[in-house]
Amino acid sequence: MKYWLVKQEPDDYPFSQLQADGRTDWTGVRNYQARNFLRDMRMGDKVLYYHSGKEKAVVGTASVARAAFTDPTADKEDGDGWLAVELAAGKPFAQPVALAAIKADTAFKDLLLVRHSRLSVMPVSTDEFGQIVAMGEG
DNA sequence: GCCAACGTTGGC
DNA sequence: GCCAACGTTGGC
């Protein structure tokens, strides 16, 4: 099993909305590096859900409910080859894990969230995932 | 609101 | 194929 982190503006689609929906198609990714990570996702993989913008914190977990498929929201102008996955809501964190806290911990110095802040879909290691979940559960 | 980082576009 | 210009993202 692999572990991932996805980033979303809470104004666009907050974690609470994913919880309300149960699951959702993760569409609209138009970046090749992120697309390649989507392609590597397998059903059952675990996902950290990060709120960018004002919040800047990991707020809960999700899981991959359906492996990559053609993004139905990609139009002609976008070209083809874009992918989506389906995510299922996991657990909200009792305590959001702030980006500042992640940056302050050298255990996360290689995390792409820190190193490559603009990437919206990224892999995380087993250890990183476990540690962030532990922090989130308080 | 600003700026840095990065990706994309378009002229050459 | 290179590179400057531009647009977007996201942290501060």
Q: How far is the CA of A16 from the C1' of C4 (A)?
A: 43
Handedness of CA A92, A93, A96, A97 (dihedral sign): negative
pLDDT at position A81: 87
pLDDT classification of A77: cutoffs 50, 70, 90:
confident
Estimate the share of chain A in helix, then strand, then coil, as percent rounded to the nearest 5.
Answer: 30, 35, 35
pLDDT at position A116: 92
Which nucleotides of strand B are protein-proximal, with an atom < 7 A from a CB? 5-8
Q: Indicate if CB(A99) is under 7 A from strand C.
A: yes
Separation of alpha carbons A73 and A84, rounded Å:
9
Q: How far is the CA of A117 from the C1' of B3 (A)?
A: 14
Q: How far is the CA of A64 from the C1' of C3 (A)?
A: 40
Average pLDDT value over all residues in chain A = 94
pLDDT at position A21: 97
